[in-house]
Structure 1
Amino acid sequence: MTWLHASVLLTFVFGGQALAAAEAETGGILLQLFYLIAAAVVGGWLFSRLRLPAVVGQVLAGVVVGPSVLGVALPSDFNRALAELGAIFLLFMVGLETRFSDLLKVGKEALIVAVLGIAFPMIGGYIFGAFQGYDSIVALFIGTALVATSVGITAKVLQEMGVLNTVYAQIILGAAVIDDILGLTILAVVSGLGAGEGFSGSKLLSTLGLSIGFVVAVLALGIPLLTRIRPALKRVALGNSFGVVLAVGLGLAGLAAQAGLAPIIGAFLAGMVLSEVKDEYDFENKVRAIEAFLAPIFFAVVGMQLNLALLGSGPVLIGGLLLSAIAVLGKLIGGYLGALSRGKRDAVVVGVGMVPRGEVGLIVANIGLGLGVVTQTVYAEVLLMVMVTTLVAPIALRALVPAPPVASGVKT
């Protein structure tokens, strides 16, 4: 056998082994994806039959198939990426069902709800940390973990119930955008303090300016531009170019991330811009189909990240439940006071709608853990708070929100 023949044989053998390993890895990923989707479908269906929010069933389904119970689906970069896409398409779809003009009508209330909904939980979280004996940096991280609302949970419940066109839903969505801008600005400052950089006024202003500038630019330029070029769009038949719609949604989600915002805010803004022409082009149902596939994966992955072992300690359980109470009351009081001008019932709904923390609280806790300023105990308490607010808010919304009138477009 010549060296050439030997090298060809070795290439064939080891190349075949690498191919087989890659195929086995792909098979494992697909099998885990099957478990996630199947569990989310069953959990969502079961809770819908029980007249409970489907998202709660999907989150609990993720807990069951995740490492805490069955362990057939494990956290990975792949399913986290799919979950992120699920959240992006969920808010993209919500944006398509939301008119910017409706948000403008509740702009004052949304701003007050966002500011009060940040102030009360942050102060409560800081006091909680100080009471437990943590230094000011740790207490600040705890307060920051309670700040930002995960609007994806609330938006899905409101979407399921068909009430996205109501005044209270518009206040929640508007407040969530402002909440994200202010919350992530606070996170940037607190992270800098945790890393030993000290307080930087210039960093705060640049982060805040970039975030606000992005939102204003998309809405102030995107909608008028789309209106102006609408005749040209008809000539190029944008409605048949679904890829263009996807590019706009994903592109703005990516740009939002570059601006320091959550990608879901960019997707939501993209949906609002495109909602101006959705009646003229056939793309809404196609976006809805992708959202219906990916959104349950997002909720299942949220549940899958719950580590029940961390919650076995009595002090952690008590601390986590106390932190959950602070988180719920902070948003409830802030939302209620901010939306009280719209009536007591709507004010309560707004407060409850701002309660879920979802992945936002986890991100804050992970950053603190990575910087070495947050302990495993604090991380577990924040984790419990995230799960409690994620599960309680949809159930409370379902109980509070009346069914919309049949065949009526009148806002309630």
Structure 2
Amino acid sequence: MQLLLQLTIIILATKIAGHLSVYLKQPAVLGELIVGIIIGPALLGWIPNSDLIHQLSEIGVILLMFIAGLETDLASLRSNAKSSSAVAVGGILFPLGFGFIAGMALGMNMAHAIFLGLILSATSVSITVQTLKEMKQLHTRESITILGAAVLDDVLVIVLLAFVMSFIGGGDQNVFLVIGEKVLFFATILLISWKGVPLAMRVLGKLNVSEPLISAALVLCFIYAYYAELLGVAGIIGAFIAGATIGQTKFRKIIEQKAEPIAYGVFVPIFFVSIGLNVSFSGIGQQMIFIVVLSLLAIGTKLVGAGTGAYLTGFDLHGSIKVGAGMISRGEVALILAKLGLDAHLLAERYFTPLILVVMVTTLVTPPLLKILFNKGKIKVGAA
């Protein structure tokens, strides 16, 4: 019964907060993120950071990325592959390098400094996707590039994590096995998607039961997400590929219309709130300088690194900054890395909570920044 009350608070609070955010000319997702901090353990304590809420939030982010996949134009994604690759690489090298330097400056040993850089290298575009979707900008060249870069970023960061855990302690992962798993995932998933998904949708869609099409689509979404997790790729990547594949079939419109009420009615609000549940203000006064400096570093290195990759592959200055801004949010990916680092003794406990707050800052700053950049004309560079 307690869960029912918690769900009532979450859904009502996120919808009211989202409405107020739009009223203040900000993306609704910004209000939904902030309200998670308010009703969570950091302030009011109405919603606990429980395992059940976490599991429901995982469904929310998977459905969010599934819907993003449905709305993605694969031809545009392929045509922007070069830009996406450059953005992903730039968006990893800059945070990794400067994060390492910052760690060494803080007195960390080399292993801990490398891991700090690795945490800052992660990207989570779920918040970016929702913001762009609200603004009806999900089909722009910048947005397509961001989505492609996010997929590659996830794979590269996981491979780098395997190197770190193997060579500087904290794990016994075989690097070649990790890379092999990623190759296996993409090879098999693309093969299955080519013929298997259209066939599965046609066969399961004919079942004499209620809502067979959306049920078939959700089965594929969850199977893809599970298979991705099984081979060490983030589940949201599997969900995105499932959505993109179904989006190429004749069922796209009907699946999109039926999936959105399920996602945005219950599960996506839980995901937004769950991010705020990780925040704790206990003892942050003593580490405020660390939080501010690292937040600026996290924002700046993604903005410049990913933006440089975009600029070098044909984007103008304004478009490059848009792409860089879309890669800023660290979200749940960085949270997972931070927890792994803590468990493997590659991240000192005193840095864990401040890093969670840094992740929150990058997540909160992304929606309003994207709104400013996508709603304004090209940035005017001063005359020489």
Same fold (TM over 0.5): yes
Between Structure 1 and Structure 2, how many residues are aligned?
Answer: 373
1:324 deviates by 1.3
- Matches for 1:8-407 after TM superposition, within 5 Å: 27-193=1-167, 195-197=169-171, 203-226=174-197, 240-279=212-251, 282-293=254-265, 294-313=267-286, 316-340=287-311, 341-402=314-375
1:287 shift after superposition: 0.8
Corresponding residue number in structure 1 for 2:380: none
Task: Check 1:127–1:289 CA distance in 2 against 1; reply closer, same or farther (3 A cut).
Answer: same
Rounded Cα–Cα distance in structure 2 between residues aligned with 1:283 and 1:369? 40
Identity of aligned residues (%): 35
How many Å separate the matches in 1 of 2:196 and 2:75?
Answer: 16
Match of 2:382 in 1: none
Q: CA separation in 2, counterparts of 1:166 and 1:281?
A: 20
1:310–1:101 distance in 2 versus 1, CA, 3 Å: farther
Q: Per the alignment, in what secondary structure is the counterpart of residue 125 of structure 1? A: helix
The change in CA–CA distance for 1:370 and 1:226 in structure 2 (over 3 A counts) is closer
Moved more, 112-121 or 283-292: 283-292
Cα distance change, pair 168–129 in 1 and its aligned pair in 2 (3 A) = same
Paired with 1:45 and 1:297, the residues of 2 have a C-alpha distance of 16
Cα drift, residue 223 of structure 1: 2.9
Question: How far, CA to CA, are the matches of 2:20 and 2:201 in structure 1?
Answer: 44
Of 223-232 and 101-110, deviating more is 223-232
CA–CA distance in structure 2, aligned partners of residues 227 and 72 of structure 1: 44
TM-score, with structure 2 as normaliser: 0.91
Judge which range, 261-270 or 215-224, deviates more. 215-224
Call closer, same or farther: CA 1:232–1:363 in 2, change over 3 Å.
closer
Please tell me whether the aligned partners of residues 87 and 308 of structure 2 are also in contact (alpha carbons under 8 angstroms). yes
Change in CA separation of 1:252 and 1:227 when aligned onto 2, cut-off 3 Å: closer
Distance 2:324 2:253 in 1: 36
SS of the equivalent of 1:68 reads coil
Residues in 2 aligned to 1:329 and 1:68: alpha-carbon distance in whole angstroms: 27
**Structure 1 contact 96–272 (Cα < 8 Å) conserved:** yes
Structure 1 gap ranges (5+): 1-26, 405-412
Residues 302 and 234 from structure 1, CA distance in 2 versus in 1: closer, same or farther, beyond 3 angstroms? closer
Instruction: Give the Cα separation in 2 of the matches to 1:81 and 1:230.
Output: 27
Q: Which amino acid aligns with 2:245?
A: V
Q: Is the 8 A contact 1:337 1:347 kept in 2?
A: yes
**2:121 is paired with a residue of what secondary structure?**
coil
Larger radius of gyration: 1
CA distance 1:403–1:163, shift in 2 (3 Å) = farther
Q: Using the TM superposition, give the Cα deviation of residue 36 of structure 1 relative to its aligned residue in structure 2, in angstroms.
A: 2.0
Amino acid aligned to 2:271: F
Structure-1-length-normalised TM-score: 0.85
2:163, 2:335 → 1: CA distance?
17
Task: After superposing the two structures, state which structure 1 stretch, 185-194 or 347-356, moved more.
Answer: 185-194
Deviations 1:71-120 (A, max 9, x none): 11111110000111100000000000002221101000000100110011
RMSD between aligned residues: 2.3
CA distance in 1, matches of 2:121, 2:79: 25
CA deviations 1:378-411 (Å, max 9, x no partner) are: 112311210110011111000010389xxxxxxx
